[in-house]
């Protein structure tokens, strides 16, 4: 669906997107990045929080996990009242929450989900223990699209990190053929090369989504932002691939404008409102 235009003063209903993810107090990643992305792209954002983090642009110093039954309560209470058009799933913290969200996908949500399988940081640091990774593999076929980074794809497949685009293409296909993913957007933005290349595979066709690499250290939240952009744009586009292409373009613009924010002393956030601020 697309936002409804009216001329008689009646309320309009934009696409409604739910983020199920962790909180980032610095505002660059997690729930905060998702809600900013939804708003920037014309969608109304809702959120169910899976974990609180003590975090800044310099790193994470602590994580407080929400009990899985309360994650379920947040979502069920919401969907009893609010109809959803799509869902973005981010940090799920532990195996119990992964399993709870899997049950929600099969039971209550009633909207297609974009799963960002937050398991491994771009530095290579593991963010989930092995039992949670096993649960994540079971969640993969329930999502409409999964958006792993290179390290996460390798963990899901139990293989080495892809070293080039050809290896990325193979792993995107393996995620569909071996794990049952329906569609894959394999994020390669942190690999080397003049272009930032992501690989799309939907079971039928492989597409390379390319954009010029942006020279900035302010990349905090890029993965969260890309996946939430896909979720926000899908109700407004003709296909998942079109949503993924436009999400890639949006993220590239947010990266180009990131140095203008000056947030924090570490790796700062992308500029989610790069195409909105300054218009007023």
Which one from 37, 53, 222, 252 is the annotated catalytic residue? 222
Which one from 219, 248, 252, 268 is the annotated catalytic residue? 219
First to last CA, the chain: 27
Rounded to whole angstroms, how far apart are CA atoms 72 and 104?
7
Which one from 221, 248, 252, 268 is the annotated catalytic residue? 221
Q: Burial of 175 by CB count in 10 Å (0-12 exposed, 13-18 middle, 19+ buried)?
A: buried
46 is catalytic: no
Which one from 30, 188, 189, 223 is the annotated catalytic residue? 223
The answer to whether residues 38 and 21 touch, using CB atoms and an 8 Å cutoff, is no
The answer to whether residues 172 and 200 touch, using CB atoms and an 8 Å cutoff, is yes
122 is catalytic: no
223 is catalytic: yes
Which one from 57, 102, 224, 268 is the annotated catalytic residue? 224
Q: What angle do CA 99, 105, 125 make, to 5 degrees?
A: 50
Q: What angle do CA 240, 34, 24 make, to 5 degrees?
A: 145
224 is catalytic: yes
219 is catalytic: yes
Rounded to whole angstroms, how far apart are CA atoms 175 and 92?
20
Which one from 37, 187, 252, 268 is the annotated catalytic residue? 187
State the catalytic residues. Answer: 187, 219, 221-224
């Amino acid at each position: 669906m697309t936002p409804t235009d009216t001329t008689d003063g009646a309320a309009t209903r934009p696409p409604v997107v739910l983020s199920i993810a962790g909180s980032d107090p610095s505002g660059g990643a997690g729930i905060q990045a998702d809600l900013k992305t939804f708003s920037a792209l014309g969608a109304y954002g809702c959120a169910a929080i899976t974990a609180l983090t003590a975090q800044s642009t310099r790193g994470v110093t602590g994580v407080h996990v929400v009990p899985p039954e309360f994650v379920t309560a947040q979502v069920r209470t919401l969907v009893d009242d609010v109809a959803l058009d799509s869902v973005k799933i981010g940090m799920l913290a532990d195996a119990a929450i992964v399993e709870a969200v899997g049950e929600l996908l099969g039971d209550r949500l009633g909207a297609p989900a974009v799963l960002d399988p937050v398991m491994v940081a771009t530095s290579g640091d593991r963010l989930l223990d092995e039992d949670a990774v096993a649960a994540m593999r079971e969640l993969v076929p329930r999502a409409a699209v999964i958006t792993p980074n290179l390290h996460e794809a390798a963990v899901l497949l139990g293989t080495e990190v892809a070293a080039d685009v050809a290896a990325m293409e193979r792993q995107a296909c393996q995620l569909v053929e071996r794990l049952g993913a329906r569609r894959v957007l394999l994020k390669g933005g942190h690999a080397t090369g003049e272009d930032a290349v992501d690989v799309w595979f939907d079971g039928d066709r492989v597409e390379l989504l390319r954009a010029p690499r942006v020279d900035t250290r302010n990349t905090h939240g890029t993965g969260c932002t890309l996946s939430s952009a896909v979720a926000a744009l899908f109700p407004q586009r003709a296909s998942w691939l079109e949503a993924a292409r436009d999400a890639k373009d949006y993220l590239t613009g947010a990266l180009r404008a990131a140095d203008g924010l000056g947030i924090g002393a570490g790796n700062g956030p992308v500029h989610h409102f790069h195409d909105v601020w300054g218009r007023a």
